[in-house]
Structure 1
């Protein structure tokens, strides 16, 4: 006769084990949870098999489960072994149904909050869409082998080497994540060292310097930018005055600026080196910022829909509009560095810190822990003077011609 009743199950709160018939036990924990357990003996060894919690699993359902497992035991089948086998079969079914595209999108969604800017998310999504998904997108993530990864990489390995190498790393990361989720077994077929480095030719990735605008063209170009009313033009101006990177400028927030002190403080999470960077603001930079005030409560350079910051290619587009498309936005940093080396007497470390570059000499970097803000302010003011004088000369020359 059964020992447990519905009313007892609902009311019992005292921690302990309460036995029903045929080895069925209700365990009540100190925090009040109630769990079903089947206790059985097989080959002279005692085993406990969890059946779920009460009231999710009712008394009737628990007893029916016990009857099923007791039938297995009468045939020499261990319920724990049978459950493990069923779980493994279910895992195989699940593994066969999860595609590479699904796992890649899951990986991007999981990690996008830790990536520095939205452009990194776009680069991941676009590169996978263009080169990986056509071949691997609908394949089960657990079935991808070395030959499949090579099918993606070989056609682009020497044609677009930088993209190909990044894609290899992205495929590897997605497959590692899939393995952690028990969707794959074995070695990663996209692994580089000791694997793909033996199957793919060595890439010739010569460093090509960014196409940089000559310093003498900055003044006339600033005058051209000033003639435009666009947000992208103002962003390009700040890019030039501060020698910062495009993403640092496009994602600038008003909360980062201290106009009284003339300092722009960029958080470490937005910096390539992962360190806070203080930028001294020249008069030209502040004037540019003042033109953007009131356009968005958060972003200095909002996008057209005012839903976020300016997209990364906006500065490039405005340069194309002004027929300066032979140069790239990042090239202004090269222009600044060349000018500071050839036309000023500022030490190398001042010029490098202005670009938020880490000092190459580790001993020097260990002892020099300041950011030399005051000296960098002098350098940036001289840079702004070069630009403003060039703009004035361009204006006078244009006036004389007219």
Structure 2
């Protein structure tokens, strides 16, 4: 039953329910349990009853609600649905969304899949530093190829790596906008078949710098120098080289990850985000025993006063030995040695390096991790490093060498 609504009556309504206005056909006041009140216009379109919100009371007063109801009724009479369609909402979003606002939302959403906070910082910095000054205030559907070139051209030759990564990030952001139907047409940051026709190929501008590596012929002498240094960082580097590992894998390594001559590195510390088993040979096991003697209360494989080594610890060892190489470069040294001096397969070498399988079909059918073959390879590598003849296995001998590192 319709109610003759007036301002005082509306204020006094407390009981939850829907109250129909007697003067404006289809206008209702909904009173909620929380005593909040909302204007609703109810109408029929294409044989279906529908509702459209007109706003909360008292933000929308009685007179305004009646005017809105009358305007909505006129549309219904003319066959127009007064309720905004999805397409209308998308158009409204297009009018509001700028690149900088959408990029911020995109980074916020995607950052949950990045295990390293460094990635988020790099995304935020490059977008803020290079993209936003040019397109930050533009609507997503206004961005053109010329805008992208204004961003990239000044740094394409000078900061090639940064520019290529920035281009890829902008492309992903605009692709997400297209998915959300906030823009349409060609992605102006697309490389293949588009920007590649007007920008020089990155690999033609500046060659990628590979990590400096020590020639494998010099490895035996280098390993002897490490043993003579007598430091925890030198032990860690020797272990890192013998197992063709990465810095983060070693300095983050924990003693509870080692069991029965196998070091199991959890996926969160691996570049490929998959658990990796490392078969430890004799010298590696010996190194771990020495490191435990030096810091018995630590949970880490290599530490000082129970705290793990810093990212720079092994690099500083190399610098003290005056070698112009990197820790990561020893992985290349190992790979070169496998190819040029052994009959071990490329597959076993790549798995020892924990490289992801690029062939998706092969990856799908791969079941084992070739640990026995990898143990044989690492044993040969250890022998090549001329450490096998000097191995010490008794507790007293280990303690004696441990005194060198104390």
Q: Same fold (TM over 0.5)?
A: yes
1:336 is aligned to 334
> Is 1:195 the counterpart of 2:171 in the alignment?
no
1:381–1:69: structure 2 CA closer, same or farther, 3 Å change rule? Answer: same
Residue deviations 1:103-148 (CA, integer Å, cap 9, x gap): 4444333323313534444543454466x25743754353432112
> Is 1:211 the counterpart of 2:212 in the alignment?
yes
1:398 is aligned to none
* 8 A contact 2:167–2:189 mirrored in 1: yes
Aligned residues: 370
Report deviation, 1:349.
Answer: 2.8
1:155 is aligned to 154
Q: Which residue among 80, 83, 105 is the counterpart of 2:82?
A: 80
Report deviation, 1:278.
Answer: 1.3
> Is 1:39 the counterpart of 2:39 in the alignment?
no
1:172–1:295: structure 2 CA closer, same or farther, 3 Å change rule? Answer: farther
> Is 1:68 the counterpart of 2:71 in the alignment?
no
1:134–1:221: structure 2 CA closer, same or farther, 3 Å change rule? Answer: farther
Report deviation, 1:339.
Answer: 1.9
**How many angstroms apart in 2 are the aligned matches of 1:346 and 1:82?**
67
1:277 is aligned to 276
* 8 A contact 1:69–1:79 mirrored in 2: no
* 8 A contact 1:18–1:27 mirrored in 2: yes
**How many angstroms apart in 1 are the aligned matches of 2:309 and 2:128?**
24
Please list, as runs of the form range in 1=range in 2, the aligned pairs for 1:106-117 lying within 5 A after superposition.
Answer: 106-117=105-116
* 8 A contact 2:27–2:41 mirrored in 1: yes
1:321–1:90: structure 2 CA closer, same or farther, 3 Å change rule? Answer: farther
1:397 is aligned to none
**How many angstroms apart in 2 are the aligned matches of 1:388 and 1:119?**
39
* 8 A contact 1:219–1:392 mirrored in 2: no
> Is 1:239 the counterpart of 2:240 in the alignment?
yes
1:366–1:303: structure 2 CA closer, same or farther, 3 Å change rule? Answer: same
**How many angstroms apart in 2 are the aligned matches of 1:276 and 1:110?**
26
Aligned-pair Cα RMSD in Å = 4.9
2:385 is aligned to 387
1:2 is aligned to 4
**How many angstroms apart in 2 are the aligned matches of 1:106 and 1:74?**
38
2:167 is aligned to 168
1:177 is aligned to 176
- For residue 242 of structure 2, give the secondary structure of its aligned residue in structure 1: helix
1:213–1:5: structure 2 CA closer, same or farther, 3 Å change rule? Answer: same
Report deviation, 1:332.
Answer: 1.0
**How many angstroms apart in 2 are the aligned matches of 1:9 and 1:234?**
78
* 8 A contact 2:220–2:385 mirrored in 1: yes
- For residue 80 of structure 1, give the secondary structure of its aligned residue in structure 2: coil
TM-score, length of structure 1 as denominator length = 0.69
Residue deviations 1:78-125 (CA, integer Å, cap 9, x gap): 893799999789746633xx453x544443333233135344445434
* 8 A contact 1:220–1:391 mirrored in 2: no
* 8 A contact 2:14–2:31 mirrored in 1: no
Report deviation, 1:43.
Answer: 12
* 8 A contact 1:141–1:183 mirrored in 2: no
**How many angstroms apart in 2 are the aligned matches of 1:28 and 1:244?**
67
1:370 is aligned to 368
